A and B are shown apart, each in its own frame.
Chain A
Amino acid sequence: MAKTFTFEIITPEKVVYSDSVESVVADGTEGSFGVLAGHAPLITAVQTSILTVTDANNKTVRFAIDGGFLEVMANNVIVLTDTCLKEGEVDTEKARSEKDSAEKAILKVGSAGEKEKAQAALRRANTWLKLANK
């Protein structure tokens, strides 16, 4: 059996996931990376993307996370993110409607901050849909 480490995903609302796992694959701001047991200490920003976890029983679980940070420290990996949806928890209709409204908001004339917000919302909705479709 492969070595494992503890992995947690925490949002302001709850601890979404906490278990010992074999590997984690995430999208950092500098590109995709994987974490295995014994990884060197690392702190990084992660993108709004899909995070793939392989747990101790060799099952993969996927999460859609909305930006945030990931820390690796002595076989403890923590992800802090604003929202996190597990595979199968995605409300496709809601994601679609959010995508539509975000797309409309981007086309509208607005301040740079509003545009950025809309783009973030679009990325989030797209990630949700991607998670739901696979």
Chain B
Amino acid sequence: MLSTREIKQRLRSITSIKQITRAMEMVAASRLKRVESRVLASRAYTDKMHQILSHLVSSSSLETAHPCFVEKAHEVPVIKIILITADKGLCGAYNNNIIQKVVRFAKEHADKTIRLVHIGKKGNLYFSKGGYSIEKYFPENVEKFGYSQVKALASQLIDGYEAGEFGQLYVFFTKFHTVMQSFPSHIQLLPVEKGAFEAKEKLQREYIFEPSADKIIEALFPKYIETQLYQCILESLTSEYAARRVAMIAATENAGEMIDELTRSYNKARQESITKELLEVVSGAEALVQH
């Protein structure tokens, strides 16, 4: 049994923990609101971009000479992975889920060289210990990772692919669904799978292209990679805040329960000590009277 003093100390520390988790929950909630609207807005853009590209690929007879469509997996046994994680912990299983997915993927593709590019500190921390080859790590905050940086990264990746530095490029990110639900997922960014662009319904007519299909693909393609990458980052960011918010709500609730319990045992201990003291006084008085 703890003494009243010890219980009081624990109560105090848990109360301040509760305050902190509540504050973190609120911060996460407000950030979530901000990025959530951004992710939903840019989804429309990304989807339409995908749609236009798929129309382009499936309707034009061009046996696309664009190098990003050419399979290189057999020639270059190197897989590049972009992993998007959070910079901070305290967001439930968010980081762990996506990291484990990458670990599983790496095991399945053990015959190939895997190179990692990290956006977010947590992924970098995990993989720097395990003997993985880390090619690049962006130390800035995931939230500050703006479109211009995505643009630079995308053009680097496309150049690298064309030069034959790697045979496949995957992005591992967490897809945001609802606040309670998000899915660790991955997409293959390069080479572009033609299958992903097969139009669902056959197009009735041929498109007119201006200036020419090749030129449009050339201009549209880097944009497509950029928007995909940017979308992945936004999705991950939203999932992160959602996960953090849920984790902090749970933590606040747990702290509340603990405070209740401790208060109860504090009261019990206090009462017991009062009873004990009373008994001592009474028996002391009795002993005096008997004299």
Partners in one complex: yes
Which of A8-16, A53-61, A94-102, A118-126 participates in binding chain B?
Answer: A8-16
A35 CB, nearest partner CB in chain B, Å: 11
**B239 at interface, CB cutoff 8 A:** no
**B45 at interface, CB cutoff 8 A:** yes
Contacting pair B52 A30 (CB below 8 A)? no
**B49 at interface, CB cutoff 8 A:** yes
**A28 surroundings in chain B (CB, below 8 A):** 210
Given known contacts A30-B210, A44-B209, is B216 in contact with A69 (CB within 8 Å)? yes
Contacting pair A15 B44 (CB below 8 A)? yes
Closest A residue, CB atoms, query B215: A45
A119 CB, nearest partner CB in chain B, Å: 16
**A41 at interface, CB cutoff 8 A:** yes
**B56 at interface, CB cutoff 8 A:** yes
CA distance A71 to B213 in the complex (A): 13
Contacting pair B52 A41 (CB below 8 A)? no
**B71 surroundings in chain A (CB, below 8 A):** none
Q: Which of A71, A73, A80 contacts B45 (CB 8 A)?
A: A80
**B220 at interface, CB cutoff 8 A:** yes
CA distance A11 to B41 in the complex (A): 8
**B168 at interface, CB cutoff 8 A:** no
**A69 surroundings in chain B (CB, below 8 A):** 52, 216, 219-220
Closest A residue, CB atoms, query B41: A14
A7 CB, nearest partner CB in chain B, Å: 13
Contacting pair B216 A45 (CB below 8 A)? yes
Contacting pair B209 A15 (CB below 8 A)? no
**B65 at interface, CB cutoff 8 A:** no
**A12 surroundings in chain B (CB, below 8 A):** 41-42, 45, 147, 227, 230
Q: Which of A14, A40, A80 contacts B52 (CB 8 A)?
A: A80
Given known contacts A41-B207, A41-B208, A78-B52, is B220 in contact with A13 (CB within 8 Å)? no
CA distance A13 to B43 in the complex (A): 9
CA distance A40 to B211 in the complex (A): 16
**B215 surroundings in chain A (CB, below 8 A):** 45
CA distance A45 to B216 in the complex (A): 7
**A29 surroundings in chain B (CB, below 8 A):** 210-211
Closest B residue, CB atoms, query A74: B204
Contacting pair A43 B38 (CB below 8 A)? no
CA distance A14 to B51 in the complex (A): 17
B49-68 contact mask (Cβ, 8 Å, vs A): 1 or 0: 10110011001000000000
Contacting pair B52 A15 (CB below 8 A)? no
Considering residues A8, A12, A14, A28, which has the most beta carbons from chain B within 10 angstroms of its beta carbon? A12
6 extra interface residue pairs, beta carbon distance < 8 Å, beyond A12-B147, A78-B52 = A29-B211, A43-B55, A43-B207, A45-B215, A69-B216, A80-B52
Residues of B near any A CB (own CB < 8 A) = 38, 41-42, 44-45, 48-49, 51-52, 55-56, 59, 147, 203, 205-211, 213, 215-216, 219-220, 227, 230
List 8 tightest A-B contacts by C-beta distance, closest first: A44-B210, A41-B207, A42-B208, A14-B41, A12-B42, A12-B45, A71-B52, A10-B45
Could you list 24 A-B pairs, sorted by A, with CB under 8 Å?
A10-B45, A11-B45, A12-B41, A15-B41, A15-B44, A28-B210, A29-B210, A41-B55, A41-B59, A41-B208, A42-B209, A43-B55, A43-B207, A43-B213, A43-B216, A44-B208, A44-B209, A44-B211, A45-B210, A71-B55, A73-B55, A78-B51, A80-B48, A80-B52
